[in-house]
Amino acid sequence: MGESSSDESDTTFQLYKDRREWKDVTPVPQDDGDQPIVAIDYTEQFKDVFDYFRAVLQSGEKSERALNLTKDAAALNPANYTVWQYRREILKALNKDLNEEMDFIEKIIVYNQPKNYQVWHHRKVLVEWLQDAAKEKYLTETVLAKDAKNYHAWQHRQWIIKTFNLYDGELEYIDSLISDDIRNNSAWNQRYFVVMGTTGFTEEVLNREIDYALSNIKVVTENESAWNYLRGVLLHDKCGLSRNKKVTEFCEELYNSGNRSPFLLALLVDMCSEQVSQGNEDPLYNLERAKNLCNELSEKYDTVRAKYWQFMAETIEKKSKKEESQVEAEN
Active-site positions? 115
Helices and strands, number each (H, E), in the chain: 15, 0
State yes or no: pLDDT of 1 exceeds 90: no
pLDDT digits (tens, 9 = 90+) for 98-119: 999 999 999 999 999 999 999 9
pLDDT digits (tens, 9 = 90+) for 286-322: 999 999 999 999 999 999 999 999 999 999 999 888 7
- Give the pLDDT of residue 4: 42
Helix/strand/coil (H/E/C) assignment for every residue in 298-313? HHHHCHHHHHHHHHHH
How far is it, in rounded angstroms, from Cα 13 to Cα 83?
19
How far is it, in rounded angstroms, from Cα 287 to Cα 272?
7
pLDDT digits (tens, 9 = 90+) for 46-72: 999 999 999 999 999 999 999 999 999
User: Percent of the chain at pLDDT above 90?
Assistant: 86
**Helix, strand, coil share (%) of the chain residues, nearest 5:** 70, 0, 30
Give the DSSP H/E element, type plus range, for residue 54: helix 44-59
Enter the pTM of the model.
Answer: 0.89
DSSP 108-153: HHHHT-TT-HHHHHHHHHHHHHHT--TTHHHHHHHHHHH-TT-HHH
